[in-house]
Structure formats: C-alpha cells, structure tokens
Amino acid sequence: MSRRISRVESGADLMEFLDRGQSASSENRFTFEIAWEAANKVGGIYTVIRSKAFVSTEELGDQYCLMGPYKEESARTEVEECEFPNNSPFQWAVNAMRSLGYKIHCGRWLVDGNPQIILFDIGSGAWKLDEYRQELWEKCNVGIPHLDIECNDAVILGFMISQFIGEFKSAAERFSHDHGLSEPKIVTHFHEWQAGVGLIAIRTRHIDVATVFTTHATLLGRYLCAGNTDFYNKLDSFSVDEEAGKRQIYHR
C-alpha cells in the first residue's frame, strides 16, 4: 500500500473489553480526560466528550475521570456533586489541593455512564497567575498577552490540573504500596489548546505520566483539507507559517 493511512471496518466484538473497569483496576490503570467543555456546553467538543462518556465508563468504570473548569451555571444542572471515598487516591489528591487553597468540585456528570468528574474553580488559582506565566515563559518561551482573559484562564486551569496530576500520582503510588499493588499507570488525555497548558506543565515539571493531545479542528487545517491535499500523510511536511500567510491567517 502506498498510503500510510487507510480505513478498515472493525470486525471485532469489543464487548469483552467493557467490564466497568475490572481490568483497569486489576492492572492499576487510571485515565483522565481533560477538556474545557467537560460539563460545560460551549461548543462541539462538549458533544464529543459527552458522546463517548458511556463507552468510556463501560470500559474503565471509576478508573476513568473527566476534568475541566468549574462553571456554576452549567455545573448546577449537569453535575451531581459528591466526594470520592476517603480511602482513595482521588480524594487524597483533592484534599491535598484544597489544603493549598484551591477550590475543587467533585461528583458525577449527569450523562449516560455517569462518569466521575473533577471541576477546578479558576478564580481560586488566579493569585498564582503571574507565577504560572513566568514559568511558562522561562521553560517554554511562550508568552501570554497580559489582558487576554481567555488565555490567562487556560494557563491557570492547566497549571492547576498539572499540580493535581502530580498529587494524584503521589497518592496512587502510596495507595498501591499500602495495598501491594503494581506501579500505577496513568494516562492524561488533553483536548484542544484551552486544556493543553496542563500537558505542557506536566512535561516541564517532569511528572511521569502518559500524555495524549487531541486537536479537533484548526482554521488552517480546515483550509488545507478543503484544498484537496493529502492532509494526514503530509502533515509533517507543511510549512505552517507559509501556508497560514498565504491565507492571511495570523496569530491574534
């Protein structure tokens, strides 16, 4: 085959893998899915996250947890707030964050599957914004416009989540040691740039977990796909600055 990417129809029965987290629990695996639109309906990613919540919980059970910003107007109707069991790494990590002054809301998202969800009050982390921005600049040479509220909120959320993941990893290792379990395996899946700062902070802070990033659509990507290019197989060969300049797409 000349093309590196092709499509085949699935012929396998995946039901054997949907055991409500029994396999994940026995293997000490945890999956966190992070998105600005977790229980926060503002765009298309909300639909993506919501539509896969059922199968995610059917496969991973309570080894799966969503994370995002706390938006009271949405959470009031979409989330049933409740605490994690006291003797769990989830609650230990939540307690550790709260002891540092961060406000965190836990519970179940009221959609099919009722997945666990953790929502972070961005306002409770705003006092560290300058520190976060400085760290992002010193370690990544990424600057954030001072008055760009959307970007500043993304920075606060990202660093709060990275700190939580660090706390959770420590808690999961302690829990595993106390109960004779294998080393915990943690996957963090970030959606789009609004959540992506958390992935960057996890890497720069050397938190040893697996990271996944999904970008759902970009303006340049849409233009290139519409131009009848072999987009995915040539993804690494595009000169993005040149292609964006041709179409007058510039950083704001």
Q: What token pair was written down for 86?
A: 């006291």
Backbone angles phi, psi at 222, to 5 degrees: -65, -40
In order, the DSSP letters of 67-128 are EEE--HHHHHHHEEE-PPPSSSHHHHHHHHHHHTT--EEEEEESSTT--EEEEE-GGGGGGG
User: What pLDDT, on the 0 to 100 scale, is given for residue 156?
Assistant: 98
User: What pLDDT, on the 0 to 100 scale, is given for residue 123?
Assistant: 97
User: What pLDDT, on the 0 to 100 scale, is given for residue 29?
Assistant: 98
Estimate the share of the chain in helix, then strand, then coil, as percent rounded to the nearest 5. Answer: 50, 15, 35
Residue (of 24, 21, 36) closest to 161 by Cα position: 36
User: What pLDDT, on the 0 to 100 scale, is given for residue 11?
Assistant: 54
Going from the first residue of the chain to its last (252 residues), give the mean pLDDT of each consecutive group of 10, the final group possibly shorter: 52 70 96 97 90 95 98 95 96 98 97 97 96 96 90 97 98 97 97 95 97 86 77 82 85 62
User: What pLDDT, on the 0 to 100 scale, is given for residue 233?
Assistant: 80
**Total residues found in the chain within this entry:** 252
Q: What is the pTM of this model?
A: 0.85
